Amino acid sequence: MMSDYKIYTRKGDQGTTSLVGGTRISKCHERIEAYGTVDELSAHIAVVHDSSDCDNDTKKMLIRIQECLFIIESSMATETTSEISKNIPQLKDDDIAFLENEIDRMNAQVPPLTKFVIPGGNLTASYCHVARTVCRRAERTAIHCLETGNHISEMNLKYLNRLSDYFFILARYIMHHSGKQEIFWNPQK
């Protein structure tokens, strides 16, 4: 039996899309760029999740992070004046504290950092660095939205800022637990 549901609507064929609440805006609007970058980050996290050096505890953590990113995306995609916005979930201080606790836990298990780390040396750790850099871009696009008059939750900005730190430490943690040597920048060469 075939469903009547179609994934395409043809409404965006002219380069616009709808915010949650109905307002149509350009697909290159800074809000679309912001939540699209968060969506891209979530896809990169899926690659980390599905990588061979990712243990079950980390996989659970990554799913929780993706759920938080869906909250951020829905917040960015919803008109703040819309009635619907009252029903959109929001991040809480506990979400940031959870990230910080994970960062501290992993950081306590890796050697102290004395040099700049060059990404590489292990495929899963490298995927973490890709997620880290996409997360930084998501943070920059969110800040740009805020500076151009779009409402962006302070909690969402804090979460994205902390999340990039999480992926930096996760890369180091994976390198350490896989027995691989980190690659450090040597400026004397």
Residues 110 and 142: beta-carbon distance below 8 Å = no
- Mean pLDDT for 151-160 is 93
Query: Is 163 or 76 the better-scoring residue by pLDDT?
Result: 163
- Comparing 77 with 108, the larger pLDDT belongs to 108
Give the pTM: 0.90
CB atoms closer than 10 angstroms to residue 31: 23
According to the model, what pLDDT value does residue 32 have? 84
**Per-chain mean pLDDT for the chain:** 90
Q: pLDDT, tens digit, for every residue of 7-60?
A: 787 877 778 777 677 777 777 788 888 999 999 999 999 999 999 889 999 999
The pLDDT tens digits of the residues spanning 166-175 come to 999 999 999 9
pLDDT band at 5 (very low <50, low <70, confident <90, very high): confident
Q: What percent of the chain has pLDDT above 70?
A: 97
Higher pLDDT, 87 or 127: 127
Closest CA to 40 of 167, 169, 137: 137
Question: 3-class secondary structure for 120-180?
Answer: CCCHHHHHHHHHHHHHHHHHHHHHHHHHCCCCCCHHHHHHHHHHHHHHHHHHHHHHHHCCC
Q: Is the pLDDT of residue 73 over 80?
A: yes
Instruction: Identify the architecture of domain 23-181 in CATH.
Output: Up-down Bundle (1.20)
- Dihedral of alpha carbons 154, 160, 165, 166, sign: positive
Per-residue CA distances from 188 to 112, 113, 185 (Å) = 21, 18, 9
Question: Is 137 a residue whose pLDDT tops 80?
Answer: yes
For the chain, which residues make up each domain, given as ranges? 23-181
Res 67: pLDDT: 98
Q: Are the C-beta atoms of residues 68 and 99 closer than 8 Å to each other? A: no
